[in-house]
Amino acid sequence: MDPYEIEFIGENRIVSIIPNFSHDKIFLICGEFGPFRAGLPMNVPLWLGVMLKQKQKCRIVPPDWMDIEVLENIKEEEKRSRFFTKMPNEHYMVEAKLILGAAAEDIPRASEIKTIIKDIWDIRMSKLRTSMDALMKSGGNYGRLDHLTMMEINSVKPLLPEAMDELHRIKMMARKTMPASLNNSTFSQTGGSQNI
Amino acid sequence: MGNQSNYLSISDILVTNEKVPCKFLHDLPKMGFLDPASTEDDLKTGTNVEIPLWLAESLYSRRPPLVSVDLPKIYKEAYREILNADACTVDLHKLGQHFYELGCYIAKHDIKGEVGNTLVNTFRQRFRMILSASASTDSISALQPLSDTERERTAGAASTEKALSTWLKRGDCPLSTANMVASHRKRKRAEMEML
Amino acid sequence: MFGEKVIELLKEAERNRDTIDQYNDEKVRQIIEEMHVLFKMNMADANATTENKSLWTTVQVRHSALERNKRCLLAYLYSRMNKIKTLRWEFGSVLPPDVRELLSDSEYEWFSKYSTNLASYMRSLGQDIGYSGIDLTENLRPPKSLYIEVLCLTDYGKLELEDGDVILLKKNSRHFLPTSECQTLIRQGILKQIM
């Protein structure tokens, strides 16, 4: 999957904004939002919040987890643990990128927060690489992906699933004997399965 | 992508085109041309010759088998020892571009039954080479010792890596020309420049 | 050796994965010729097996070679067919002349039929909810904004917008257009999005 597609999925998460205008309820495919009352906090999807922010129609309320202390704790825990720790948000990178990109002024200590989120991401990515290698070396037949976010899982595709498929195939093929002829008889079974 | 025994897969066709050493167990009339060293019409019992795997399999599957199939040298004991000790030191681009795929086909001709294990061990050990090659900035030299499928896998991983780092670095991503359109334009430009 | 020419054909197709090459009429003809020769030899030898039983194996070996050639030719056509599908999605229903001439007549006929099929499928989509079809070749990336700024890369000519306005797309002219109305031209390499 393209990272922009994951961003698109992540953009449906709800964030809190404070609009500077008033407007009736709006009806969207993803639900009803509003009414908008100037100065009163309300919930909207991330994409809408960012769009309104870009048009200077609102302030974005920092999500609870976008806080130096919370993030420091997460970072320490992530360093200490052999496993992946649970992130405060399934799309923390998407949310961080969009909110800090469009509304840095609304987030206290935005640049420190940016750095620390990047640190957490880097720790997790390097952990992911190490554990992929360990998984292959130990010959494990499955890998646990607990607490990995969608963007992180996507970063090991197609490599990891393909490599595991291939390893499985080698194990199976090397064991059993081949069909008698290589150039006929398999046409009808597999002819349609190949794609571009 | 390693579609083994897939009738329409070009990569499987190229794998089964690899040559394997065979010994003929019976005379084969009018097939003397299979042995480049021979000038006779018929192929004689006892001839040793390297023929493509698909042909070897077809001759081997006759009852009784017309040939016995020997292992290509990369699957023999000497190389198996090196591979089992440290598979990462072996240049599979030079010695076995289709190492795993051909190995799967050839494993059944190994009387000791050790080729299968060597394939699995080699694959496991060399996975880290793919990991580091896909992150490498010096892509050419990192690819050097990899087999064909290892290279393909590396290319896949590298393009994921690239898409991710582009996403991390920039805001919106501009819409762009479709892949095949761009490639054809590029080729056309190159052809024009040559004229 | 059997089946060597056809391998050259496939290697050629494997080398240029992002572009489609000229349909190799000459080589395909030669391979089919080779198959006819094999078939005739087999007819003759099959008739002679009543006297000489050992010829039977020879017939079988040639038959495998025929099967092999057939498989390779089909794989060649199949891999081209997949590329031709991609052409429809990336260039659209009208191919530029220099791309069009790379296809054989039957391939072009297939392209036209595929194109028509795809178009009528897309027209049928969403009719139950009041749309008159959905263009599936659009919005291949999640849309970011309704309007974008574009640079024109070629002298394209006039473009009529949905609101009735007509604009002139000249080389190096800049425009601010609805994303939905220019993304196809971007994919076709006529416009380029400016960030």
Interface mutation vs chain C, best among B1, B3, B13, most C CBs within 10 Å: B13
Contact check, Cβ <8 Å, B2/A129:
no
User: Searching chain A, which residue's CA lies closest to the CA of residue B17?
Assistant: A182
Whether a cis peptide bond, with omega within 30° of 0, leads into A19 is no
pLDDT, one tens digit per residue, over C31-64 is: 999 999 999 999 999 888 888 888 888 999 999 9
The answer to whether A181 and B105 have CB atoms below 8 angstroms apart is no
Both A78 and A154 in one domain: the answer is: yes
Both B128 and B139 in one domain: the answer is: yes
Residues in chain B: 195
Read off the tokens for C88. Answer: 């429809």
Q: Which domains does chain C have, with CATH numbers?
A: 5-123 (1.20.58.1030), 147-194 (3.40.5)
Both A115 and A84 in one domain: the answer is: yes
Residue B142 inside a domain? The answer is yes
pLDDT computed for residue B3 by the predictor: 41
- Domain range for A120 is 67-177
For residue C87, which phi and psi values (nearest 5 degrees)? -55, -40
Residue A173 inside a domain? The answer is yes
Both B118 and B130 in one domain: the answer is: yes
Chain B hits for A97, Cβ within 8 Å: 168
For residue B174, the 8-state DSSP code is: -
Q: Decide if pLDDT at A196 tops 70.
A: no
Burial of B74 (0-12, 13-18, 19+ CB in 10 A): buried
pLDDT, one tens digit per residue, over B100-109 is: 999 999 998 9
pLDDT computed for residue B1 by the predictor: 37
The residues, any chain, with a CB within 8 Å of residue B4's CB and separated by 6 or more, are: A169, A173, B12, B15, B101, B104
Read off the tokens for C140. Answer: 């291949």
b/e code B119-140 from CB counts within 10 Å (16+ = b):
bbbbbbbbbbbbbebbeeeeee
Q: What CA–CA distance (Å, rounded) separates A70 from A108?
A: 13
Say if A192 is an interface residue toward chain B (CB within 8 Å): no
Both A97 and A142 in one domain: the answer is: yes
Q: How many CB pairs under 8 A join B and C?
A: 117
Q: In terms of DSSP bridges, do strands C157-160 and C166-169 run parallel, antiparallel, or are they unpaired?
A: antiparallel
Distance (Å) from the alpha carbon of A181 to chain B's nearest alpha carbon: 6
User: Searching chain B, which residue's CA lies closest to the CA of residue C54?
Assistant: B29
Q: How confident is the model at residue A119 (pLDDT cuts 50, 70, 90)?
A: very high
Both A57 and A71 in one domain: the answer is: no
The answer to whether B102 and B15 have CB atoms below 8 angstroms apart is yes
Say if C22 is an interface residue toward chain B (CB within 8 Å): no
The residues, any chain, with a CB within 8 Å of residue A92's CB and separated by 6 or more, are: A65, A117, A149
Is residue B103 classed as helix, strand or coil in its secondary structure?
helix
Read off the tokens for B103. Answer: 């190995």
Domain of A137: which CATH number? 1.20.58.1020
- The per-residue pLDDT of chain C, averaged, comes to 91
Q: Decide if pLDDT at B147 tops 60.
A: yes
* Nearest C-alpha neighbor of C73 from the set C33, C111, C113: C33
Cβ-based neighbour number of residue B194 at 10 Å: 6
Q: Decide if pLDDT at A24 tops 60.
A: yes
Q: How many domains does chain B have?
A: 2
Q: What CA–CA distance (Å, rounded) separates B75 from C142?
A: 49
The answer to whether B11 and B34 have CB atoms below 8 angstroms apart is no
pLDDT, one tens digit per residue, over B159-180 is: 999 999 989 987 666 778 888 8
pLDDT, one tens digit per residue, over C95-135 is: 999 999 999 999 999 999 999 999 999 999 988 888 888 88
Which residues are paired to C159 by β-bridges? C167
Both B76 and B142 in one domain: the answer is: yes
Contact check, Cβ <8 Å, C10/B180:
no
Domain of A5: which CATH number? 3.40.5.50
At position B124, the amino acid (one-letter code) is R
pTM: 0.86
Chain A hits for C70, Cβ within 8 Å: 183
Interface mutation vs chain A, best among B61, B124, B150, B151, most A CBs within 10 Å: B124
* Nearest C-alpha neighbor of B161 from the set B134, B139, B184: B134
Q: How many domains does chain A have?
A: 2
- Domain range for B142 is 72-161
**H/E element holding A68?**
helix A68-80
Both B76 and B157 in one domain: the answer is: yes
Q: How many CB pairs under 8 A join A and C?
A: 22
Residue A190 inside a domain? The answer is no
Residue A48 inside a domain? The answer is yes
Among C78, C91, C183, beta carbon nearest to B8: C78
Both A37 and A94 in one domain: the answer is: no
